């Protein structure tokens, strides 16, 4: 792994080069430009980053330059071309692709008599361009989780790829067609088509029932086939069936503002794209349905409000930390005890599914029952572990249980495979609580869970969290915990709440239940 100092030295070295250097991601967006590239392109870095060169620079807007990028990425071979930056500055571009994107080099150039004009560099063959868009959409759809994300990926990839101006995506439900996404249409134009029966004589429904695409290369063709059909300013259309596993799920409509000839390659590629989209939509619909059930379970099983405990301020936050992962097995609870104390609980069942959410509810109910008596927290953990093993759910869980006596500020805690709590002193100094750690719940029936007893200082803030708040693929868990500790130490306080919100530590954190007592 390259350390930060080496990375900084490498960046500084590239910045000193007189040649322009830039990097594009697989989608063609600029991720880096050095200072020389800014000067040669005559554009500030802030206007370039995150955009495609042919979108950011008007003089590179010719499709031939985009084709150069596509050709290099598909063939995985270096390529080069000349371009003229107005009013008359010629630049030589060299492109070096790999699986993760492309590195480019820019140097000043002087064209000779046999230099090809930038308006007509060799373009990617039509078949290669079609395959490129097929691959790009396939890549985008693998990352799409929900129906909305699939629809966004379709609109982003298909319209630019085929020069379309309008797109409408319909799904069938209850024998009728329902609009999922649209772009480019005049306001209200599609309203009369909402809820159209699937047997209606319209091209968008007929492709659904027949499973065969329909292409109209001019407005006259559409009007002749469907007299009286409402039309806007479009002049050519592609109506595509969306078929997944042999069953139609919807239809996709593309509109073009000029008459066009749909070649056999166009028709093949668009039909193939329809199949990809249908598979992604079917997967996303199942995910959305399961997510709705799991979210309902979560909302029903988690506390609707936390109890008031004399001498303590208690608050909690529960937020998703991963796109598409709004459900899972994280839970938290606060249970007052008859002696004036309180049991603080946070846990995490592995997985993000209905099964994880349902098991979370079982464990939460069990822990509440076990902790309601005078049993020490290590006994509660042992009995919960025994229950999880008996349930034979095939899932493990982590948990942190703390029994706190506000009068004496004595804390007795047990940690079963869970990240350690943080303790912030009134002066802001924040430390990781040194608690004995036990194994995850559900591994084996005969495990013991050691307990640690600590006396807390007056006015302290205790923070419990799940690993979603601190876990990252790019850094070890200990580093994430230290980032949270630093954020907590520097967070502002208020008279009503001595703890920061979850977002102050890290935005959009996964199922983070934080129980925060104040003295």
pLDDT, position 118: 42
Q: Give bridge partners of residue 81 from the DSSP assignment.
A: 93
pLDDT at 115 over 70: no
Q: Provide CB contacts within 8 A for 178, sequence distance 6+.
A: 170, 171, 172, 194, 195
Residue 178: which H helix or E strand, with range? strand 176-183
Contact status, residue 10 vs residue 28, Cβ threshold 8 Å:
no
What are 19-41's pLDDT values in tens digits? 899 999 888 899 999 999 999 99
Q: Could you tell me the two tokens for 74?
A: 């598909």
Burial of 243 (0-12, 13-18, 19+ CB in 10 A): buried
Instruction: Give the Å distances, CA to CA, from 89 to 57, 122, 422.
Output: 14, 21, 60
DSSP state letter for 285: H
Work out whether the CA dihedral 114, 120, 126, 128 comes out positive or negative. positive
Read off the pTM.
0.51
Neighbours of 142 (CB within 10 A): 11
Contact status, residue 27 vs residue 136, Cβ threshold 8 Å:
yes
What are 149-172's pLDDT values in tens digits? 888 888 877 787 778 899 999 999
What are 202-235's pLDDT values in tens digits? 999 999 999 899 999 999 999 999 999 999 999 9
Q: Could you tell me the two tokens for 196?
A: 């159209």
């Amino acid at each position: 792994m390259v350390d930060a100092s080496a990375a900084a030295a490498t960046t500084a070295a590239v910045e000193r080069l007189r040649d322009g250097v830039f990097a594009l991601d697989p989608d063609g967006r600029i991720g880096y430009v050095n200072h020389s590239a800014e000067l040669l392109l005559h554009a500030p870095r802030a206007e370039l980053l995150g955009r495609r060169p042919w979108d950011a620079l008007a003089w590179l807007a010719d499709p031939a330059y985009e084709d150069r990028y596509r050709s290099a990425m598909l063939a995985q071979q270096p390529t080069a071309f000349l371009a003229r930056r107005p009013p008359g500055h010629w630049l030589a571009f060299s492109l070096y692709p790999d699986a993760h994107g492309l590195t480019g080099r820019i140097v000043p150039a002087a064209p000779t008599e046999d230099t090809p004009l930038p308006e007509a560099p060799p373009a990617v063959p039509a078949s290669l361009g079609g395959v490129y868009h097929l691959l790009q959409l396939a890549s985008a759809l693998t990352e799409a989780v929900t129906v909305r994300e699939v629809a966004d990926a379709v609109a982003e990839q298909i319209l630019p790829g085929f020069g379309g101006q309008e797109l409408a995506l319909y799904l069938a439900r209850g024998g009728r067609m329902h609009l999922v996404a649209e772009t480019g249409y005049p306001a209200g134009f599609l309203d009369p088509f909402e809820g159209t029966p699937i047997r209606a004589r319209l091209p968008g429904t007929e492709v659904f029932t027949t499973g065969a695409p329909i292409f109209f290369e001019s407005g006259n063709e559409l009007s002749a086939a469907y007299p009286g059909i409402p039309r806007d300013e479009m002049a050519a259309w592609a109506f595509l069936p969306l078929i997944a596993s042999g069953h139609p799920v919807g239809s996709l409509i593309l509109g073009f503002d000029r008459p066009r000839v749909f070649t056999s390659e166009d028709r093949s590629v668009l039909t193939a794209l329809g199949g990809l989209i249908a598979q992604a939509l079917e997967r996303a619909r199942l995910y959305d349905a399961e997510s709705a059930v799991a979210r309902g379970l979560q909302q029903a099983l988690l506390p609707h409000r936390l109890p008031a405990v004399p001498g303590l301020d208690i608050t909690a936050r529960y937020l998703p930390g991963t796109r598409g992962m709004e459900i899972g097995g994280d839970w938290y609870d606060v249970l007052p005890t008859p002696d004036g104390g309180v049991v603080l609980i946070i846990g995490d069942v592995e997985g993000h599914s209905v099964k994880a959410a349902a098991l979370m509810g079982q464990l939460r109910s069990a822990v509440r029952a076990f902790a309601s008596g005078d049993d020490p927290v290590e006994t509660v953990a042992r009995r919960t572990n025994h229950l999880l093993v008996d349930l034979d759910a095939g899932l493990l869980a982590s948990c942190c249980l703390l029994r706190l006596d506000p009068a004496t500020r004595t804390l007795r805690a047990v940690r079963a495979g869970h990240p350690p709590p943080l303790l912030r002193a009134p002066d802001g100094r924040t430390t990781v609580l040194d608690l004995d750690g036990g194994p995850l719940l559900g591994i084996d029936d005969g495990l013991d869970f050691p307990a640690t007893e600590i006396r807390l200082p007056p006015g302290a803030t205790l923070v419990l969290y799940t690993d979603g708040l601190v876990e990252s693929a790019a850094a070890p868990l200990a580093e994430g915990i230290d980032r949270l500790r630093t954020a907590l130490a520097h967070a502002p306080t208020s008279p009503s709440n001595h703890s920061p919100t979850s977002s102050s530590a890290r935005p959009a954190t996964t199922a983070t239940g934080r129980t925060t007592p104040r003295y």
